[in-house]
Amino acid sequence: MAKTAPSKSPVRVRDAERTREQILDAAERLFAERGYEETSLADVGKVANVSRATPGYFFGSKADLHRAVLERSFADIRTAVREGKERALASGQTPEVILAGAVADYADFVAARPNFVRLIEREALSDRTVLEGLPLRLVVWREALAAFRQELGLDISDTSEAAHLLLTLIALTWFPIVHGGTFLKAMGLDPAAPDFAEQRKRHITSLLLGALKERAANSSSWS
C-alpha cells in the first residue's frame, strides 16, 4: 500500500504564508523604488530577511514574483471596491454623501500603498507589457466602474461619464503621492502635513460634486 505523504502542520503553513508575504512586501518596495531591471531576487531576499534563494523557491523567476506583487495589489483593490460598494449601498445616504465617502476611502487606500502607486507609474513609463497580461486588472477596474455608477445612481447605459469621473478621482489622489517632492513642494504644499490629506479629500469631493451637479442639471440621469 502506498504511503500517504505527511501533511504540513498548521504552524509550518502559517510560517510559509508569513514568509511569502514578507517577500511580496520587500519585492513591492524594491520594484517601486529601483524598478524591475535594477532589482534582483537576491536583493529581495535581503530586504525580506530571508536567504538569497528563498524568493526563487517561493515564486520561481523574478518575472513571476513581479507578477505576483501586482496581482496581490489588484486583489486588494477589488476587496476594497466590494467593501466600499456594500457599505455605500447599505448606508441609504444621498449620492453627495456617498461620493465624499468614496473619495475618502480611495484616498486613504492609495495613501497606505504608495509603493503600489509608484510601481504602476514605473510600469506606465516602461516598455514592459506585464499589466496587459493581468486579467485581474481588467476585472478590478470594471467592477470599480460598475460600483461607482451604482453607488452614485448614474445612468448605467452611460459608461463614459462614470469612467471620466473615476479617472479624475484616481488622478487627483495619485498625483500627490508621485510628486510630493517635485510639484507639491514647489507650490508650498507638504503632503506629510497633518491637515493635507483632509484638505485634499475635501477639494477632490468639491470638484467631483460640481461635475455631478452640472451633469444632473443637464440630464435626467441623476436618480
How far apart, in Å, do the first and last CA atoms of the chain sit?
68
User: Average pLDDT, stretch 90-106?
Assistant: 93
- Would you say residue 41 lies in a domain? yes
Q: Give me the pLDDT at residue 214, please.
A: 81
**38 in any annotated domain:** yes
Residues 6+ apart with CB under 8 A from 178: 117, 118, 121
9 has a pLDDT exceeding 70:
no
Inside any domain, residue 1:
no
Residues 163-181, buried b or exposed e (16+ Cβ, 10 A)?
eebbeebeebbbebbebbe
Q: What is the pTM of this model?
A: 0.85
Whether 111 and 48 map to the same domain: the answer is: no
Q: What is the mean pLDDT of residues 28-48?
A: 97
Same domain, 77 and 137: yes
DSSP string, 36-61: STT--HHHHHHHTTS-TTHHHHHHSS
Spatial distance between the Cα atoms of 55 and 42, rounded to a whole number of angstroms: 8
Say yes or no to pLDDT of 2 above 60: no
Count of residues in the chain: 223
Domain range for 112 is 70-218
Burial level of 8, CB count in 10 A (0-12/13-18/19+)? exposed
Report yes or no on 165 lying in a domain. Answer: yes
What amino acid occupies position 136? L
Asked if 81 and 189 sit in the same domain, the reply is yes
Q: In terms of domains, do 20 and 114 share one?
A: no
Give the residue, 111 or 213, on which the prediction is more confident.
111
Indicate whether 110 and 200 sit together in one domain: yes
Q: Is the pLDDT of residue 1 over 50?
A: no
Q: Per-residue pLDDT for 83 more than 70? A: yes
Number of domains in the chain: 2
What is the predicted pLDDT for the residue at 217? 74
Mean pLDDT of all residues belonging to the chain: 89
Residue 87, sorted as left (phi over 0), alpha (psi -120 to 50) or beta, turns out to be alpha
Query: Does residue 106 have a pLDDT over 50?
Result: yes
Residue-wise pLDDT tens digits, 149-199: 888 888 766 778 889 989 999 999 999 999 998 999 999 999 999 999 999
Residue 7 DSSP class: P
Residue with cell string 473619495: 103
CATH for 150: 1.10.357
The pLDDT of 27-42, averaged and rounded, is 96
pLDDT recorded at residue 7:
58
Q: Among 60, 80, 101, which residue terminates a domain?
A: 60
Residue 211: pLDDT over 70: yes
**Do the Cβ atoms of 79 and 41 come closer than 8 Å?**
no
C-beta of residue 102 within 8 angstroms of C-beta of residue 44: no
In a domain, 2, yes or no: no
Closest CA to 110 of 204, 20, 38: 204
Looking at residue 153, its pLDDT comes to 85
* Average pLDDT, integer, range 50-62: 96
Helix boundaries (H) for 48-156: 54-59, 62-91, 95-111, 114-125, 135-152
Q: Is residue 26 part of a domain?
A: yes
Worst-scoring range by mean pLDDT, 10-14, 56-60, 89-93, 103-107?
A: 10-14
- pLDDT at position 71 over 70: yes
- 210 and 115, same structural domain? yes
Chain-centre distance for alpha carbon 149: 19
**Same domain, yes or no, for 83 and 179?**
yes
Cell of 180: 510630493
Distance, CA of 14 to CA of 125 (rounded, Å): 37
Half-sphere exposure of 213 (CA within 13 A, CB side): 8
Q: What CATH number is given to the structural domain containing 38?
A: 1.10.10.60
Residue 177 in any domain: the answer is yes
